Amino acid sequence: MSATEAARAAAAAAPSSDELIARIRELQPLIEKNAAQGEADRRVVEESITALTDAGVFRVAQPRRYGGYQTSVRTMLDVSAAVAEADGGTAWVVALCNVCAWLTGLFSEQAQDDVWGTTPDAKVSGVLTPSAEAVKVDGGFRLTGRWFYNSGSWHASWAILGFPILDDNGQLVDQGLALVPFADLELEETWFVAGMSSSGSNCLIATDVFIPEHRVMSGVAAIEGNYPTEHTDEVLYRAAFVPVLALVLAGPQLGMGRKALEIVTKKAAGKAIAYTFFSAQADSTAFQLQLAEAALMIDTAHLHAYRSADDIDRAAAAGVYPDTLLRARVRADTGWALQHVTKAIDILLYAHGAGSFAQVNPLQRIWRDSAVAARHAVTLPAVNFEVYGKALLGRTDQITPLI
C-alpha cells in the first residue's frame, strides 16, 4: 500500500469533533508538562508535536484525499482551544499549521500533491505579508525576501509565503501566495518575546528561489472566494478566505480563557485574601463578582466566535460566498472575542492575587501568551471594529482589502 493509499484508508475512519477533543484531553497532561520547557526552548517540545501528530490533531483541515479529516471551521476552533487549555504556545502552532493546511487545500491539486502526495503528515506554516521581491520568469517566479513571523517554523516542511505581483511597468497588480518547500529556505531565529515563546515564530528567508506557477495563488482572487482548487465539491475549501484566516486565531484564546477561569475557581475555596478577614476567596462577595464578570466575558467570546464559525461553515455548505458585511463582521467578532478573553484574564489575575505571577503558576504563562497573541495585526479590536463600522455604513473608504 502506498503512502497515499494508506492516508486515504485512514481518512475513511476520520474521527468526529468530539472524538478529536477527547484525544486532546488525554494528551493535556503531557502538553502541560512540556509547556515550561517549550517556552524556554522557544519551540514546542517535539514529544508534544509527535503526540498531537499521532492523534491526528494536525489533520483537521487537510483534505480527505491525503488522509485528512476535512472538518469545519468550528472544529478548528474547538481543537486549538482544547490544546490551549494545556498550553497556549502549543495551541498557536496547532491553529496556524491547521489553517495553513486549509490554505494548501485551496491550491491546485498539483500543488497539493507536491506537499502531501508522498508525505501525508507534512505540516505547512505561513506568512502572508508580501515582504519579498518577485521576478516573473518562464514557468513561474523567482522569489527573494524575508518573512516575519513564521509560527511553527521548527515543525513545518512547507511554507505559504506572500509576495507582490507587478506588471511590466512595475505597478502592483496582485498579491501572490507561494507554496515553498523548507528545503529552499533559510530559517533565522528572531523570536525573542514575552509571551507565545514556544510558537517558534521565526523569520524565513528566500534567495532567488524558483516557484512554479502551479504553486502560486492569487490573493486578490482568493479574497473574493476564487480559489485554484479543482475540487469545488469539498465544502471546507469553499469557506471565506479572510474570515477563516482571522477567526482561527481566536481558538487558542478561548482555551486559555477557560483554563484561567478553571484555575482561579478551583483555588478559591482554599486561598485566603491577604490583609482581610477572608480565609477563603470564595467567601468574598467582591471575589464572586469578579469571577462572574470574567466568566461572562469568556462566554461572550465563545458566543461571538462560534456565531462566526457557524456562519462561515453554513455558507460554505450552501456554496454561497458571504457578502462584504458578513465578512467584515467576522473580523469584528474575532476582535471582540479576543478583547473579552484578555479582559477576563486580567480580572481573574486581580481576583487570584499576586500569586498569579509565580513562575510555577500556569496563570502567568496564560496571561503572557494571551496578551501577545491578542496583538496579532489581523485581530486588533479597534482595527476590526473600524472595518465593520465602515461596512455597516456602506462606505467605500475601507482601510484594508482583507475582508
Q: Does residue 403 lie within any of the structural domains?
A: no
φ/ψ of 105, rounded to 5, equals -65, -10
- pLDDT of 168 reads 86
What does the alpha-carbon distance between residue 178 and residue 188 come to, in Å, rounded to a whole number?
19
pLDDT interval class at 358 (50, 70, 90): very high
**pLDDT tens digits, 53-111:** 999 999 999 999 999 999 999 999 999 999 999 999 999 999 999 999 999 999 999 99
Q: Is the pLDDT of residue 8 over 90?
A: no
What does the alpha-carbon distance between residue 139 and residue 212 come to, in Å, rounded to a whole number?
6
| 387 and 248 both lie in a single domain | yes
Q: Does residue 163 lie within any of the structural domains?
A: yes
| 30 and 131 both lie in a single domain | no
How does the average pLDDT of the chain come out, rounded? 96
CB 179 within 8 Å of CB 215: yes
CB 370 within 8 Å of CB 348: no
Cα-Cα-Cα-Cα torsion 136, 142, 144, 149, nearest 10 degrees, comes to: 100
| 183 and 144 both lie in a single domain | yes
**pLDDT tens digits, 284-331:** 999 999 999 999 999 999 999 999 999 999 999 999 999 999 999 999
Q: How far is CA 380 from the centre of its chain?
A: 14
Q: Is the pLDDT of residue 4 over 70?
A: no
HSE of 53, CA atoms in CB hemisphere, 13 A: 15
CB 266 within 8 Å of CB 135: no
| 255 and 213 both lie in a single domain | no
| 139 and 166 both lie in a single domain | yes
| 203 and 75 both lie in a single domain | no
Q: Is the pLDDT of residue 231 over 60?
A: yes
Q: Does residue 402 lie within any of the structural domains?
A: no
Q: Is the pLDDT of residue 16 over 50?
A: yes
Q: Does residue 153 lie within any of the structural domains?
A: yes
**pLDDT tens digits, 102-148:** 999 999 999 999 999 999 999 999 999 999 999 999 999 999 999 99
Angle between helix axes 109-116 and 88-104 (nearest 10 degrees) is 140
- pLDDT of 313 reads 98
| 204 and 324 both lie in a single domain | no
| 260 and 369 both lie in a single domain | yes
CB 340 within 8 Å of CB 300: yes
> Considering 165, 189, 218, which residue would you say is the last residue of a domain?
218
Q: Does residue 223 lie within any of the structural domains?
A: no
Q: Does residue 231 lie within any of the structural domains?
A: no
* Domain, as residue range, for 348: 239-393
- pLDDT of 328 reads 98
Q: Is 355 exposed, middle or buried (0-12, 13-18, 19+ CB in 10 A)?
A: middle
- pLDDT of 7 reads 54
Q: Does residue 232 lie within any of the structural domains?
A: no
CATH number for the domain harbouring residue 76: 1.10.540.10
> Considering 71, 93, 116, which residue would you say is the last residue of a domain?
116
φ/ψ of 181, rounded to 5, equals -70, 145
| 297 and 370 both lie in a single domain | yes
| 369 and 351 both lie in a single domain | yes
- pLDDT of 29 reads 98
Read off the amino acid at residue 178.
A
Structural domain count, the chain: 3
- pLDDT of 13 reads 75
Q: Residues with Cβ < 8 Å from 25, sequence gap 6 or more?
A: 82
> Considering 116, 146, 176, which residue would you say is the last residue of a domain?
116
Q: Is the pLDDT of residue 264 over 80?
A: yes
Q: Does residue 365 lie within any of the structural domains?
A: yes
- pLDDT of 3 reads 54
Q: What percent of the chain has pLDDT over 70?
A: 97
pLDDT interval class at 170 (50, 70, 90): confident
Instruction: Give CB contacts under 8 A, 24+ apart, made by 40-44.
Output: 40/197, 41/198, 42/189, 42/191, 42/192, 42/197, 42/198, 42/200, 43/154, 43/155, 43/198, 43/200, 44/87, 44/89, 44/90, 44/93, 44/154, 44/155, 44/198, 44/199, 44/200
| 129 and 255 both lie in a single domain | no
Q: Is the pLDDT of residue 198 over 80?
A: yes
Q: Is the pLDDT of residue 337 over 70?
A: yes
Q: What percent of the chain has pLDDT over 90?
A: 96
| 286 and 389 both lie in a single domain | yes
Q: Is the pLDDT of residue 1 over 50?
A: no
CATH number for the domain harbouring residue 363: 1.20.140.10
pTM for the model stands at 0.95
